[in-house]
Amino acid sequence: MSYSSLNFTIKVDEMDSNVKWAAFTWENVYYEISPIIDSEGNVDNTATKQECIDYLEYKKGWGDTV
């Protein structure tokens, strides 16, 4: 599956302003997952998008690693 149209936004947690989320919607499901932060404390957009994709793959897949 192509995830080229997947886009996330960074949002602040509703209860803890110190926490950030990578928020996105995919196939009518809304997601918030932890973004990848680089060594300077900034969101790594490339790594975070890959994290989003990895999570979607996990949610749809039936892997064999237990």
DSSP string for 16-33: -TT-EEEEEEETTEEEEE
For the chain, helix, strand, coil in percent to 5 are 25, 25, 50
Q: Is 40 in the site for another protein (CB under 8 A)?
A: no
Q: Is 41 in the site for another protein (CB under 8 A)?
A: no
Q: Is 29 in the site for another protein (CB under 8 A)?
A: yes
Site map for another protein, 1-20, x if CB under 8 A? ------------xxxx--x-
Measured distance CA(22)–CA(43) in Å, rounded: 9
Determine the interface stretch with another protein among 2-10, 27-35, 38-46 (rule: CB under 8 A).
27-35
